[in-house]
Amino acid sequence: VVVEEFLNGVECSVFVATDGKNYRILPVAKDYKRIGDGDTGLNTGGMGSVSPVPFADEVFMQKVEERIVRPTIAGLISEGIDYRGIIFVGVMNVGGDPYVIEYNCRMGDPETEAVVLRIESDFLELLRRIASGRIGFYELKEDQRCVASVMLVSRGYPGNYEKGKEMEIPIPPTDTILFHAGTVMRDGKVYTNGGRVLAVSSYGSTPEAALQRSYTHARQVLYDGKNYRHDIGQDMLLLAKGDR
Ligand code: GLY
């Protein structure tokens, strides 16, 4: 019998880039895992993400750093583990206090489709410094804009779904970036080739603006069986307004 403390809160994803000694905490994101609006239905590989996360403010992130990130890196060092890469910490906000839900040795998907857009400094340089043990000299610069990412999926996903649907993908505006997940190009045409097809990520000066841009483009991408969640980021908008 395993007895665990019940944690009631909202989760966010914290990515720590480390060269095994020093670290940088990347912009925080929140993902949306279930297939249906209002967090209903089956779990998926991720239906969308937003960054920043309103409750992950300076005070909260200071707690994350002191209580989770530093002890984690110190633990790796004390156990002689030379870990160079990303530590993904799933963090639950329980009344303003951060609790670890899970660790992964990778970035998260679809959080990455929001997080990398919010890294204004050279991301490749960050990866080089992770590998060469020189992250201590890296100046991480965050883009202050908001990013929202909406995942387009195939009808039936995360159950059985069809592939091979021809796609019409208009060229996105400059503030929108498309991440191809389950697509394939044949004879100059793009077809669906997976359950999670395309992530539409957009910048905005506010979360609302970022969401609006991503949803506008999500509507313009066409293929038979297109499905997506319509409520990405809505809980965070309510939270930011103090309604929850
Ligand atoms: N978005 C959750 C994960 O990548 O595990």
Question: What is the end-to-end Cα distance of the chain in Å, rounded?
Answer: 34
Tell me what pLDDT residue 243 has. 58
For the beta sheet containing 23-25, the strands, ordered from the edge strand earlier in sequence to the opposite edge, are 23-25, 10-18, 85-94, 97-104
Output the CA 188–ligand 1 centroid distance in Å: 32
Could you report the per-residue pLDDT of 202-218, keeping only the tens digit for each? 999 999 999 999 999 99
Please say if the pLDDT value at position 244 is more than 90.
Answer: no
Rounded mean pLDDT, 11-18: 98
Please give the model's pTM, rounded to 2 decimal places. 0.95
Atom 5, ligand 1: which residue's CA is nearest? 108
User: 136: exposed, middle or buried (C-beta count within 10 Å: 0-12, 13-18, 19+)?
Assistant: exposed
Nearest by Cα to 194 from 206, 179, 209, 205: 179
Output the CA 187–ligand 1 centroid distance in Å: 33
Nearest by Cα to 35 from 23, 25, 47: 47
Output the CA 174–ligand 1 centroid distance in Å: 27
Output the CA 108–ligand 1 centroid distance in Å: 4
Cβ atoms within 10 Å, residue 42: 11
Q: Which pairs with CB-CB distance under 8 Å and at least 24 residues apart come from 105-108?
A: 107/15, 108/13, 108/15, 108/29, 108/31, 108/46
CA distances from 162 to 120, 224, 231 (A): 38, 9, 24
Tell me what pLDDT residue 79 has. 98
Atom 3, ligand 1: which residue's CA is nearest? 108
Chain-wide mean pLDDT for the chain? Answer: 97
Domain boundaries, the chain: 10-240
Fold annotation for 10-240: D-amino Acid Aminotransferase; Chain A, domain 1 (3.30.470)
Pocket of ligand 1 (CB under 6 A): 31, 46, 104, 108-109, 111
